[in-house]
Amino acid sequence: MKQMVEKRIEILGTTVLDLLLGLGGFTNYTMKTIFWTFKPPYRWKLLFDQIYFIGNKSIFIIFLTSSFTGAVFAFQIYVGMKVINADSFIGPIVTIALAKELAPVLTGLVVAGRCGAAMAAQIGSMKVTEQIDALEVMGINSYQYLAVPRILGATLSLPLLSGIFLLIGYGGAWLIGTQVIQIDDAIFSSKISDFMDLGMVAEGLIKAAVFGYLIGIIGTFHGFSVTGGAEGVGKGTNLAVVWGMITVLVVDFFLTSFLTKIL
């Protein structure tokens, strides 16, 4: 019995210690990336390459996700609202939900899956093949060269993608609302301007920027943390996606609480 208790305490101690070490490593990494963000040289080409990769190359999947999300959400709201004869509110409800929650969160989840994984895999495979050592030996800071453009690229791209998500999602909802459910186009649109304001759009865009930063920092951190060979790269990639998605969902809750008070 005593042995079992000791074993449990040991496991608990090891887990807490690992957690604290991980947290310490992540905090240290975050501070370093912040430091190197403001140090010259500023590599604009690498930043634009990342914006192109994270932003432009994600447009198709964002288009697909947003159009169906808007359309399905409009249908679901219609089913509920029809009961109380308030189906003309589909437009504002869908648009507000898209602007404040669905666009930034779903964009965050899609980008965490697509780009967070790519960041971890690219940096991780560079690490196991000594390419990062090669950068360091040349006197180039690998955080500045590899992490900073990816983090900034994600921070700048996510609000743009979230904006696109909102517009296309609205389009999907409009199509279902006006063409399938047969709500008058003028009613569908005018209700939106009655209930929505710019603060709601700003809330979504701010959230998206924060998610972009977090996805970038988590993806690159797990890339730099890779050890071993191909298995290590796979593990790092997996962790980047899982933690990226969890972080988006958890941080969304706290951001919502904070932003609804100030906006």
Partner 1 sequence: MTNDQCSIEFKHVTKKFGAATVLDDVNFGIKKDKITTVLGFSGAGKTTLMKHILGLTMPTSGDVVVLGTAINHIGELELREFRRNFGMVFQYAALFDFLTSFENVAFPLREFTKMSEEQITDKVMGLLVSVGISKEAAYRLPSELSGGMRKRVGLARGLALDPHIMLYDEPTSGLDPITTHMVYDLMRETHYNNVHNGFTSVIISHDIHATLKYSDEIVFMENGHVVEHLDVESFKKSENPVIRRFLEL
Minimum CB distance to partner 1, residue 136 (Å)? 6
Q: Residue for token digits 């980047």?
A: 240
Rounded-to-10 torsion of CA 202, 203, 207, 210: 60
Applying CB under 8 A, what is the total number of residues that bind partner 1?
Answer: 13
Encoded one letter per residue, x for contact with partner 1 by CB under 8 A and - for no contact, window 91-130 reads ----------------------------------xx--xx
Report if residue 6 touches partner 1, rule: CB under 8 A: no
Nearer to partner 1 (CB atom), residue 49 or residue 101: 49
**Quick one: DSSP state of residue 145?**
I
DSSP H helical ranges for 43-89: 44-54, 59-83
Options 2-10, 89-97, 132-140, 206-214: segment touching partner 1 (CB under 8 A): 132-140
Report if residue 40 touches partner 1, rule: CB under 8 A: no
Report if residue 134 touches partner 1, rule: CB under 8 A: yes
Q: Which two tokens stand for residue 233?
A: 């790269």
Options 113-121, 139-147, 170-178, 228-236: segment touching partner 1 (CB under 8 A): 139-147
96, 148 in Cβ contact below 8 A? no
Q: Pick from 83, 138, 186, 198: which binds partner 1 (CB under 8 A)?
A: 138
Nearer to partner 1 (CB atom), residue 84 or residue 138: 138
Q: Which two tokens stand for residue 162?
A: 């979230």
128, 228 in Cβ contact below 8 A? yes
Minimum CB distance to partner 1, residue 63 (Å)? 27
Options 138-146, 153-161, 168-176, 211-219: segment touching partner 1 (CB under 8 A): 138-146
**Quick one: DSSP state of residue 88?**
G
Minimum CB distance to partner 1, residue 71 (Å)? 39
Closest CA to 153 of 110, 215, 233: 215
d(CA 103, CA 1): 53
Closest CA to 25 of 154, 218, 240: 218
**Quick one: DSSP state of residue 116?**
I
Nearer to partner 1 (CB atom), residue 139 or residue 198: 139
Report if residue 64 touches partner 1, rule: CB under 8 A: no
Report if residue 18 touches partner 1, rule: CB under 8 A: no
Closest CA to 220 of 148, 138, 133, 153: 148
Q: Which two tokens stand for residue 236?
A: 């790092």
Q: Pick from 4, 139, 186, 194: which binds partner 1 (CB under 8 A)?
A: 139
Chain residues in the site for partner 1 (CB under 8 A)? 125-126, 129-131, 133-134, 136-141
